[in-house]
Amino acid sequence: MSFSEFGQKDYELISRAWEVLKASAQKRCADEDELAVVRQAFDFANHAHHNVRRRSGEPYMLHPIAVAQIVVDDIGLGYKSIAAALLHDVVEDTDYTVEDIRERFGDRIALLVDGLTKIKNVLDAPSMQAENFKRILLTLNDDVRVVLIKLADRLHNCRTIEHMPEHKRDKILSETMFIFIPLAHRLGLYSIKTEMENIWLRFKEPEAYEDVKSRIEKSVAEKGREMADFVLPIEEALTRAGFHFEIKKRIKTPYSVWHKMQTKGISFEEVYDLYAIRIIFDTDPRSAESERDQCYHIFSIVTGIYRYMPERLRDWVKHPKSNGYEALHCTLLSPSGVWVEVQIRTRRMDDIAEKGFAAHWIYKQHGTMGEGDYEMDAWLDRIKEILSNPDVNAVELLDMVHNDLTTSDIYVFTPKGEQRSLPKGSTALDFAYAIHTEIGSKAIAAKVNQHLVPLNAVLNTGDKVEIITAQDGKPQPEWLKFLVTHRARTVVTDYFKTQRKQACDYGRSSLENALQALGYEADESTLQRLDAAYNVGTREELYYAIGVGQVSLDNLSEVMKRSTGGKLSWIRKMFRPESREEEKPADNTFIIGSSDPNAPHFSIATCCNPIPGDPVVGIKAPDGTVTIHKKTCPVADRIAAQHGDWVVVPKWLEQAEDTSFPVRISLKGLDRVGMLNEITRRVSLVMGVNMRRLNLSADGGVFEGYIDLYVNSRDILDKMIKKLSSIEGIENVSRSEL
């Protein structure tokens, strides 16, 4: 922030923004008295932020107005929340206090502002990021509107993030991806979630973002007329059936397309659900059909017009998502051969989908809750249970909440037909503990769909589960290997608390001794690499796994070589700085491979294996070692979200020709005689690239697999992907994780 006298243009900017907000707020205010409170909050904040500017040079007051605009338009909150959004920075950034707010605006608005001020204070703290998020999430136990307004604040900060220095931008984007985006998803705020995802991709992988965005725009331009032709018969049929409805068209976002390409290893052309339409209809209270039945009625109409893909049917009307989302999804084949996703919702379902938690509470207060609203209450109770555990440290809690936010649910049934919702990946033992603690602790086996299975059997939606117990049954240490739910893990962990501490101490001592024997220090950098190599969520999990023998240290030497790439000195040869002047980094910035003896030691992260040319972020551990990650690496997002002050900005220098990095390319295509020879010839002879592993298999005329290579830079990798894509019969070539 900075201070400088406002001019006429500044006052006009503030006035125009306020007029737009006032028009939106009027629709949410029940009477003139409520609107007057919003006006008073604007006047008070405008006076408090007078002559204050943001980094962009704009009047600071435009920020709280924009946050309030998101609160009313995207979330649908009422006048107290709009007022609190306008006032949310007053206490932190000016001489006014919470008591001043309470005196002018009453207790509830003062409490909201106080909660937002505390969140801002902890987020701006240089360290203890995990502890900060714990405090934020604890506001869910007080007034969920604080978190909703904070999401609006975070969205606007993301919209203006280009004005931030790069290291702070990376920290904010990592926080956003790790906790705020999943939180927005769980609270049903899809418009906020998708916009933050697109901003994250635009700054983390700008080239990928622009490439996908341009492809989407080109596809929309080419197929716009076809979409209109596709919708017309549906409109006519629904009108004849007597439905009152509207149809909205939706195009998949750049992030959504990019994420699908990355996770599925597919090309843009293989993203067949690029297009979607939403059928939003008003339920007929006079109809004998229930709300759910009317959704199925529309489904029968549209599938009578177009062929649908049975395996893509998603019935979130019968089994709502845990964030309250209800809809019936099906994928139809258009006359031109394009697959189109069709989402069928009632008006109430659409309100929940668009406004999330705010709409949930409105319907709850009016006694018109749907099935999805109860699921949302159940999720909130689960989060409160996690937050209330005094024995969980902040880092563990952040991981638990992150896992809960990002894990979808399955729906299983008791022998009596009662439905239970569990996180995807849950086992029969998780189900046992969900029924009752005593049943879980005495469980010895289970029957799933009448078949006897072990307790670690993973459940699927629709399973009917019966738990078999023994009177002398008790928790076993190995249960912690496969339990998923927080409730179950907490019960078992508490049972073994004394033994667990002894196991952790033994595991820590064993690991330190083993590392020392191999010539390594048990510093933070080394332990981070081992966390990634053994795929554990927390350091305590690593020590415990070693202590109880789940992880063997017999192959520690090989693990360390793989996770560190051997000695780190080799990597310094890949850069040849032109001059000392070029090596002078800005604050929080360092040059990878700098010859400066004071430059930090660094290593390349094995979880994402960045190569020169990739956008990268550095994580500087307390011992000073910097680990280089791709900016899109989820491990880096997790660490940056937990320890914001560890984020630094590494810069690649021009690499040496004799230094190479491991990468993997995945291929898929039609098999033919000579295909393997042509692939290897293009890689080895044409591109001059060294292959270290080739794994291709063919079945029924189709081949797929991968090639592990050593390349000097991303530029060479991109050229090779282009060369391989040009081979006749190859359908898809993409970079994938090692």
* Residues belonging to the active site: 92-93
Task: Please check whether residue 112 is in contact with residue 79, taking contact to mean a CB–CB distance below 8 angstroms.
Answer: no
**Residue 726, phi then psi, degrees to nearest 5:** -80, -10
Single-letter amino acid, residue 475 = P
DSSP-based three-state secondary structure for 277 = strand
Identify the H or E element spanning 227. helix 206-240
Q: Is the dihedral of CA 198, 203, 205, 206 positive or negative?
A: positive
Cα dihedral value 459, 342, 353, 294, nearest 10: -90
Q: How many Å is the Cα radius of gyration of the chain? A: 28
> In terms of Cα–Cα distance, which of 153, 154, 125, 157 is closest to 55?
157
- The residues pairing with 205 across neighbouring beta strands, listed in sequence order, are none
CB count in 10 Å sphere of residue 197: 22
Describe the chain by its helix, strand, coil percentages, rounded to 5.
55, 15, 30
Full DSSP string of 478-507? GGGGT--SHHHHHHHHHHTHHHHHHHHHHH
End-to-end CA distance of the chain: 44
CA–CA dist 32, 40 (Å, integer): 12
């379902």: which residue's tokens?
349
CA–CA dist 152, 391 (Å, integer): 32
CA–CA dist 344, 328 (Å, integer): 5
Residue 244 carries which DSSP code?
Answer: E
> In terms of Cα–Cα distance, which of 463, 473, 479, 476 is closest to 413?
463
Task: Please check whether residue 387 is in contact with residue 140, taking contact to mean a CB–CB distance below 8 angstroms.
Answer: yes
Identify the H or E element spanning 589. strand 589-591
Task: Please check whether residue 75 is in contact with residue 355, taking contact to mean a CB–CB distance below 8 angstroms.
Answer: yes
DSSP-based three-state secondary structure for 53 = strand
Task: Please check whether residue 565 is in contact with residue 603, taking contact to mean a CB–CB distance below 8 angstroms.
Answer: yes
